[in-house]
A and B are shown apart, each in its own frame.
Chain A
Amino acid sequence: MNFTPTPSQTVGPYLHLGLTDARSISRVAGDAAKGQRVWLTFRVVDGDGAPVPDAMIELWQADSEGTYANQDSSADGAAFRGFGRLATAEDGSCTFETIRPGCVPGPGETAQAPHINVSILGRGVLKRLSTRVYFAGEQANVADPVLTLVPENRRATLLAQPDPARTGAWIFDVHLRGERETVFFDV
Chain B
Amino acid sequence: MSSSLIPAKGKHLGETVVGFRRHEPGTQPEYFYPAYRATRLRAPSQPLIFLPHTLSEVTGPVFGHSDIRPNDQDLTGQHAGEPLGERIIVRGRVVDGDGHAVSNSLIEIWQANAAGRYTHAKDDHPAALDPNFTGTGRTLTDEDGFYSFVTIKPGAYPWRNHDNAWRPAHIHFSLFGPAFVTRLVTQMYFPGDPLFAYDPILQSIPDERARQRLVSKFDLETTKPEWALGYRFDIVLRGRESTPFER
Contacts and interface: CB of A to CB of B under 8 A. Distances in A.
A107 B17 contact: yes
A78 to B, nearest CB: 10
Contacts of B96: 3
A-B residue pairs, 5 tightest by C-beta? A18-B110, A124-B38, A83-B61, A124-B42, A186-B48
Given A7-B28, A23-B108, A68-B6, A47 B41 contact: yes
A185 B136 CA distance: 31
Given A70-B59, A185-B48, 15 more contacts: A6-B184, A8-B186, A16-B120, A17-B119, A60-B56, A60-B60, A105-B12, A107-B54, A111-B13, A124-B37, A126-B31, A130-B51, A130-B181, A177-B45, A182-B44
Interface stretch (B80-88, B219-227, B233-241): B233-241
- How big is chain A's contact interface, by range? 35 or more
Nearest to A103: B12
A14 B110 contact: yes
Contacts of A129: 31, 44
Given A6-B213, A14-B118, A18-B172, A184 B62 contact: no
Interface stretch (A30-38, A115-123, A165-173): A115-123
Contacts, number: 257
Query: What does DSSP make chain A's interface, helix, strand, loop or mixed?
Result: loop
A138 interface: no
B42 A117 contact: no
A149 B51 contact: yes
Given A3-B236, A112-B56, A181-B45, A18 B108 contact: yes
Given A5-B97, A9-B185, A14-B120, A122 B42 contact: yes
A71 interface: yes
Contact of B29 (A5, A7, A11, A71): A7
B56 A117 contact: yes
17 contacts: A1-B234, A4-B24, A5-B236, A5-B237, A6-B213, A9-B186, A11-B174, A21-B136, A47-B42, A68-B56, A69-B61, A74-B67, A104-B56, A105-B55, A117-B180, A127-B29, A184-B48
Interface string B81-122: 000000000000001111100000000111000000011101
A110 interface: yes
A177 B53 contact: no
A152 interface: no
Contacts of A60: 56, 59-61, 180
A160 interface: no
A6 B49 contact: no
A25 B135 CA distance: 20
A137 interface: no
A150 B134 CA distance: 44
B18 interface: no
B144 interface: no
Interface in A21-69: 21-23, 46-48, 50, 52, 58, 60, 62, 66-69
